[in-house]
Amino acid sequence: MTTNIYNHRIPDSTHDEYTITFYHEPIHTLVTATPSLVDAWISQIESIHQHRLNRLIVGLDIEWRPPNAPQIVNPVATLQLCVGRRCLIFQIVHAEYFPYSLWNFLNNPLYTFMGVGIGDDVAKLRRDYNIGVASYAELGRLAAEQLGAPELNRSSLKDLARRVLGADIEKPTSIRRSNWDDQYLTDPQVKYACIDAFLGFEIARNLIQGFDNYN
């Protein structure tokens, strides 16, 4: 997989900024637990894509700390969103409160949130934080319909990336099962979280006609 990460080393405790390059595509990534920065990110996205707000597609994914005992169920630690080449990793577990702008964004029925296993992710967000998502769609089902390939209905993100984008991705178990509720995420965690949300967006963009030229 051709993926690199550059940490901009922002001298500010409220956030970190990264550029993650995926097959030569730069993805500008904000990592934060600060609600006002989430407000600003959403405002920027809606400004950039104001001409398509009636049909916006958004990659969505979540991560949480794996349980250390069978009866333990840890809450969602990070919520990742991606539109075009801009990704937000919101450290919800460390946030003082859930931004109203983000509540509105997730509950806008004109925005469709895309991902693999997204129904389970949406259900966990609701269980853990009572946060709803108005409109979402499963990538595998979309791929099966658009490509006339029913076997893709239950495909993994890795399989869909290869089939739709011709891209090979790595999903190391050591990263997937790492401590996502740490205050400071590692570069490999940021890269993993960003790419999952980006692929949710990018695969959908390639499957749905009329969604070219996102920035």
Q: What is the CATH number of the domain that holds 68?
A: 3.30.420.10
Contact 98, 106 (CB under 8 A): no
What percent of the chain has pLDDT above 90? 89
CB hemisphere CA count around 124 (13 angstroms): 17
Beta bridge partners of 27: 20
The answer to whether residue 153 scores a pLDDT higher than 60 is yes
Mean pLDDT, the chain, integer: 94
Is residue 1 very low, low, confident or very high in pLDDT (cuts 50, 70, 90)?
Answer: low
Of 156, 214, 166, 174, nearest to 2 (Cα)? 166
pLDDT of residue 215: 59
> What pTM, to 2 d.p., does this model score?
0.95
Find the mean pLDDT for residues 36-62: 96
Contact 207, 144 (CB under 8 A): no
pLDDT of residue 72: 85
Domain assignment of residue 58, given as a range: 3-207
Task: Classify the phi-psi angles of 212: left when phi > 0, otherwise alpha if psi is within -120 to 50, otherwise beta.
Answer: beta
Residue 157 and residue 116: Cα distance in Å, rounded?
Answer: 6
Q: Is residue 213 part of a domain?
A: no
**pLDDT tens for each residue of 65-112:** 998 877 888 999 999 999 999 999 999 999 999 999 999 999 999 999
Is residue 151 very low, low, confident or very high in pLDDT (cuts 50, 70, 90)?
Answer: very high
Find the mean pLDDT for residues 168-195: 96
Cα–Cα distance list, 121 to 80, 137, 138, 145, 208 (Å) = 11, 11, 11, 22, 22
Backbone angles phi, psi at 138, to 5 degrees: -80, 125
pLDDT of residue 124: 98
Residue 138 and residue 114: Cα distance in Å, rounded?
Answer: 6
Cα–Cα distance list, 133 to 58, 103, 118 (Å) = 12, 8, 10
| Domains: count for the chain | 1
Contact 206, 166 (CB under 8 A): no
